Amino acid sequence: MVRLTHSAHRFTRIAQISVPARYRDAVSFILLSVLFGSSFVAIKTGLRELPPLLFASFRFDIGAAVLIGYVLATRPRSAWLPRTRGDVLGIATAGVFLITLNNALLFTGQGTTTPAMASVMYGLNPVLAPVFAWWLLGDRLSKTAALGIGIALAGVVVIVQPSPGTLTGDGTVGQGLVLGAAAAIAAGSVLLKRLQPEMDRLPLTAWAMAVGALLLHALSLAGGEPQTSVGSVGVLTVASLLVVGIPSTAVAYALHFRLLERIGPVRANLVAYVVPITAALTGWLLLGAGLSQGTVFGFSVVVAGFGLVERQTLRAEVCRLRRWRRQGTSPTRDEGPQWPCDD
């Protein structure tokens, strides 16, 4: 385990060197969407033999074990222990909102509604995040950014193509549970930003996973889920747990918590709009599932919405490229200021 974690640490350092600093958040965002989106096949496989809350519990058992082992092997004691009240509250907030409520409501709700409607309801997370940010942080979203979020949500609806019957059918309760999951992750992200814990985000993520795993096990027992089903699972279920628990939980949640700190809850939670795209692409690459014209068009709509939200960043980058082109300087180096356009 120690050798494995040190190898991962070296890989992370190499990645940080090879990717210019100004693009690391974008690369992390794309990687996060791939890790979350590609987990749907594995989750569907695991839920055939395990009840939802128990599956979610094992997911975070594995994720917490991997991250805590990595933190203990690579960081001194002073770095991974919570030291302040904000650290303790940050771990509790992340464990309750981002891990427990998010996954308990999402996994339970998916059992009684269609995947399409679950995607739409969960896609309301970036819409709810600005509301909580305005209430708890005093942040206000510009009209153009709000329009961009709305356009991106419309793109998600085009991709999943929910039917009118799914809104009024028996899955209404499930849709409400998934919407509750979206509200939990939106509120938890903003609360974590407000608390501003001092400890590094990686050990905070590890302890939050441990808290979430314990709470999910308690909910599984309280809900009467059969714990004896564990002994009869097959190889595919074990493999699905490992796939979901390590890359799509330990790595993905560490990236998510880092983005919450660096770019804020509103922009970080926009990953919910990219996940349906990566899930569709994963199904096409791994399972041979076709990509409809609606999926391709919806992808274009989502990209347009992102363009509006990130218009200032994109404009600054275009200006930098124009400057490099005129002056013949290398576009691979990192420069602090963002060069304004002068034409």
* pLDDT tens digits, one per residue of 108-131: 887 776 665 666 677 777 778 888
Per DSSP, the three-state class of 95 is helix
Q: Where are the beta strands (DSSP E) in the chain?
A: none
Q: In this structure, are residues 99 and 209 in contact, taking their beta carbons and an 8 Å threshold? A: yes
Backbone angles phi, psi at 123, to 5 degrees: -70, -10
Question: Which stretches of the chain score pLDDT less than 70?
Answer: 1-22, 113-120, 159-172, 229, 280, 282-284, 286-292, 294-296, 299, 306, 310, 313-314, 317, 320-321, 324-325, 327-343
Q: In this structure, are residues 112 and 178 in contact, taking their beta carbons and an 8 Å threshold? A: no
Q: What is the pLDDT of residue 308?
A: 77
> What is the average pLDDT score of the chain?
78
Quick one: 322 exposed, middle or buried, by C-beta within 10 A (0-12, 13-18, 19+)? Answer: middle
Q: What is the pLDDT of residue 163?
A: 63
- For residue 303, the tally of other CB atoms under 10 A from its CB is 15
Sequence-separated (6 or more) residues with CB below 8 Å from residue 282: 34, 37, 38, 40, 41
Q: What is the pLDDT of residue 307?
A: 75
Q: What is the pLDDT of residue 314?
A: 67
Sequence-separated (6 or more) residues with CB below 8 Å from residue 226: 51
**pTM summary value:** 0.76
Q: What is the pLDDT of residue 254?
A: 92
Spatial separation of the C-alpha atoms in residues 270 and 130, rounded to whole Å: 11
